[in-house]
């Protein structure tokens, strides 16, 4: 019989399908009036936590409480509501209107972990807005917990988990004691839809708000963004009239022959 507490970190990001535009000043990506959603890897993390909870309930071998946490401005609560509608039990919003870099988020999460004492923290391997891929690893370092990153399969054992990770050479399977950090890769699962009954229930689930400054950690940005620019526009293709023409273009324009 195990009673787990799982903390899932989620981030509100510009929806993956939105065409990104750089703002006029070239200082940031345009986010006003742009559709935002939960970071896809965090959605996978939320799904994984709910699946663990469901599996334990089904096998009658234990229970799990799924807590979702998001650090950021007031709008982050939308993402938390989504996670609650998917099936998370309660939510914590660490509110901050200043820019949060991975180290700051890791420190804030550490403070939440110390308060909630979860057996496992699940994070997306990266957020698709800044593609940092750092927060999970930093949090493991700050907590001195073992970490299993880029998980494509998770099996829960007794006070441990066995994680399959996709690495360059193939797949690697590791076992780690709990508590531990887990970061999700794309193939771990397919997140569920938020069902109507769950969306209604989610409204009544508790959402605790904590002001970031009250956690007493230094969240000042360490990195300064100098410039943001769009990649160069792709040149259109060209039709060649003949083989000679092609050879000529390869030689003189593309300079590959």
Partner 1 sequence: MFPLASAARLQGQARLAGSRVAQRIPSVIRIATVAPMARTRTFSLFSKAAYAASSSAEKVPLSSERYPYLKRDPSFKKLSQEDIDFFNSVLPSSAISQDASDLEGYNVDWMHKFRGQSKLLLKPSSTEQVSKILKYCNDHKLAVVPQGGNTGLVGGGVPVFDEIILSTANMNSVRSFDDVSGALVCDAGCILEVLDNYLAERGYIMPLDLGAKGSCHIGGNVATNAGGLRLLRYGSLHGTVLGLEVVLADGTILDNLSTLRKDNTGYDLKQLFIGSEGTLGIVTGVSIMAPKRPKAVNVALLGLSSFEQVQAAYKRSRDELSEILSAFEFFDEASINLVKKHLVAGNNDPLESSHPFYVLIETSGSNKDHDDEKLTQYLEGLLTDEVVQDGVVAQDTTQFKNLWAIREGIPEACSKTGPVYKYDLSIPVPKFYDMVEDMRARLNNADVIGEDKDVEAVVGFGHIGDGNLHLNIAAKRYSDKVAKVIEPYVYEWTAKHSGSISSEHGLGVFKSPYLHYSKSSTMIDMMRRVKNMMDPQGIMNPYKYLPEEKK
CB within 8 Å of 187: residues ≥ 6 apart: 152, 166
Stretch in the footprint of partner 1 (CB under 8 A) among 3-11, 37-45, 96-104, 166-174: 37-45
DSSP state for residue 236 in the 8-state scheme:
P
Q: How far is CA 153 from CA 76, 88, 113, 215, in A?
A: 28, 20, 24, 34
| Residue 239 in the binding site for partner 1 (CB under 8 A) | yes
- C-alpha 89/C-alpha 67 separation (Å) is 6
Closest distance of CB 37 from partner 1, Å: 3
Closest distance of CB 238 from partner 1, Å: 8
Stretch in the footprint of partner 1 (CB under 8 A) among 38-46, 54-62, 141-149, 215-223: 38-46
Reading the block at residue 222, the tokens are 């360490």
What is the Cα Rg of the chain in Å?
A: 22
Closest distance of CB 157 from partner 1, Å: 25
- C-alpha 187/C-alpha 71 separation (Å) is 25
E strand or H helix at 252, and its extent?
Answer: helix 243-252
Residues 100-159 that bind partner 1 (CB under 8 A): 126, 128-129, 131
Q: Between residues 170 and 236, which has the closer beta carbon with respect to partner 1? A: 236
| Residue 177 in the binding site for partner 1 (CB under 8 A) | no
| Residue 82 in the binding site for partner 1 (CB under 8 A) | yes
Which one of residues 2, 5, 29, 101 is an interface residue with partner 1 (CB under 8 A)?
A: 29
Per-residue mark of binding to partner 1, 185-224 (x: CB under 8 A): -x---xxxxxxxx-xx------------------------
- C-alpha 12/C-alpha 71 separation (Å) is 9
Reading the block at residue 36, the tokens are 């935002």
Name the nearest CA neighbour of 67 among 216, 205, 161, 215: 205
Q: Which residue has the tokens 């750089």?
A: 22
Stretch in the footprint of partner 1 (CB under 8 A) among 30-38, 48-56, 138-146, 218-226: 30-38
Which residues here bind partner 1, judged by CB under 8 A? 14-18, 20, 29, 33, 35, 37-38, 40-41, 43, 82, 85-86, 126, 128-129, 131, 186, 190-197, 199-200, 233, 236-239
């Amino acid at each position: 019989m195990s009673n787990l507490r799982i903390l899932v970190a989620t981030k509100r990001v510009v929806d993956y399908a939105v065409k990104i535009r750089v703002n006029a000043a070239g200082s940031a990506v345009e986010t006003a009036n742009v559709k935002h959603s939960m970071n896809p890897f965090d959605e996978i993390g939320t799904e994984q936590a709910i699946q663990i909870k469901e599996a334990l309930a089904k096998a009658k071998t234990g229970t799990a409480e799924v807590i979702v946490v998001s650090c950021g401005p007031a709008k982050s609560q939308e993402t938390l509501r989504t996670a609650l509608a998917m099936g998370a039990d309660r939510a914590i919003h660490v509110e901050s209107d200043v820019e949060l870099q991975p180290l700051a988020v890791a420190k804030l999460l550490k403070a939440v972990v110390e308060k909630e004492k979860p057996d496992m923290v699940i994070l997306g391997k990266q957020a698709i807005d800044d593609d940092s891929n750092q927060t999970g690893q930093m949090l493991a370092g700050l907590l001195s917990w073992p970490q299993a990153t880029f998980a494509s399969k998770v099996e829960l054992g007794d006070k441990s988990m066995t994680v399959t990770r996709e690495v360059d050479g193939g797949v690697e399977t590791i076992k780690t004691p709990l508590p531990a950090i887990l970061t999700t890769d794309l193939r771990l699962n397919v997140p569920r839809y938020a069902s109507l009954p769950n969306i209604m229930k989610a409204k009544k689930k508790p959402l605790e708000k904590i002001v970031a400054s009250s956690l007493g950690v230094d969240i000042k940005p360490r990195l300064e963004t100098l410039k943001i620019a769009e990649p160069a526009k792709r040149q259109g293709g060209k039709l060649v009239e003949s083989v000679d023409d092609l050879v000529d273009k390869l030689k003189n324009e593309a300079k590959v022959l």
